[in-house]
Amino acid sequence: MSSALQDRVAIVVGSSSGMGKATAITFAQAGAKVVLAARRVDTLNALAEEIGENALSCPTDVQEAAAVDRLIATTLAHFGRIDILVYVTGTNIPDRSLGVLSNETWEMMIRTNLTGAFYCTKAVLPTMRQQKDGLIIYVSSAAVQSPDTSGVSYQASKHGMVGLAHGTFKEEKDNGIRTSMLFPGLTDTPIILKRPVPTPPEVVAQALQPQDVADACLFVASLPARAYVPELVLMPAGLA
């Protein structure tokens, strides 16, 4: 078992399933103390029990700034510091084309995929500034590099994360805070079930697995503070 993150404290937002769950487990196996954040209480509690004493379940709706503030306060009360924030939560909807996308759905997508990332960033920065150290990893999408039919609300929110990440680094690098953007291609997670047309099984079979993204997050998080990974693109080789 790796000790690359021994005694570091990581918040994984979106840890109830898919990439987030795999990242939380991987970080814990690497020695980190992990705070599990998502909306599904029962799922988080079960994962915390699976990981053991170094995991803390903290149900959080990232669309609410007050809930995010509680997440940070709970983490500090329990572990005393925050070294890493991974924002891997995200959603999409079947009715994603401009012809059917509603104003309400647009707002929901932006709040979940982008505004939640801003709330988490803003809330964690004071602690990281005080520590003079911190890493924020944002998991976006390869749709940023190569526009597709994932929908304008999804693409706009994922593009927005890039500005948030790079802008935060420029403002906070002198405080010892780094940011990294991950752009995974098609990954076999529950979000692909929200596509308007089901993805063929033979395509899903070639997709990345959540563990691949978790390993990429671990690589970035394991680097020394002198190393900065602005962007990392991870694609399924068979679909490239």
What pLDDT, on a 0 to 100 scale, did the predictor assign at position 169? 98
Percent of the chain scored above 70 by pLDDT?
Answer: 95
> Which pLDDT belongs to residue 179?
98
Residue 172 lies in a domain: yes
- For residue 32, give its domain range: 9-239
Asked if residue 4 belongs to a domain, the reply is: no
Decide: 116 and 11 in contact? Cβ < 8 Å: no
What is the chain's length? 240
As for how many domains the chain has, the answer is 1
Distance CA 74, CA 176 (A): 23
Is the pLDDT at 22 greater than 90? The verdict is yes
Does the residue 1 lie in any domain? no
Residues 6+ apart with CB under 8 A from 237: none
Q: Tell me, what's the pLDDT at 162?
A: 95
Within-domain flag for 2? no
Residue 155 confidence class, pLDDT cut points 50, 70, 90: confident
For position 172, which CATH number holds? 3.40.50.720
Task: For residue 13, tell me if it sits in a domain.
Answer: yes
State residue 208 phi and psi, 5-degree precision. Answer: -65, 160
Residue 23 lies in a domain: yes
pLDDT at 194 exceeding the cut of 80: no
Q: What is the pLDDT of residues 35-46, one digit of tens each?
A: 999 998 999 999
Distance between CA 60 and CA 78 in Å, rounded?
A: 16
Cα-Cα-Cα-Cα dihedral sign, residues 133, 137, 138, 142? positive
**Would you say residue 127 lies in a domain?**
yes
* Tokens matching residue 110: 């932006």
Instruction: Output 222 or 95, whichever has higher pLDDT.
Output: 222
- Report the pLDDT value the prediction gives residue 191, as an integer from 0 to 100: 65
| pTM of the entire predicted model | 0.93
> Does residue 3 fall inside a structural domain?
no
The 3-state secondary structure of 168-211 reads: HHHHHHHHCEEEEEEEECCECCHHHHHCCCCCCHHHHCCCECHH
Number of H helices, E strands in the chain: 8, 7
Active site residue 154: yes
Residues 119, 138, 154, 228: which is the catalytic one? 154
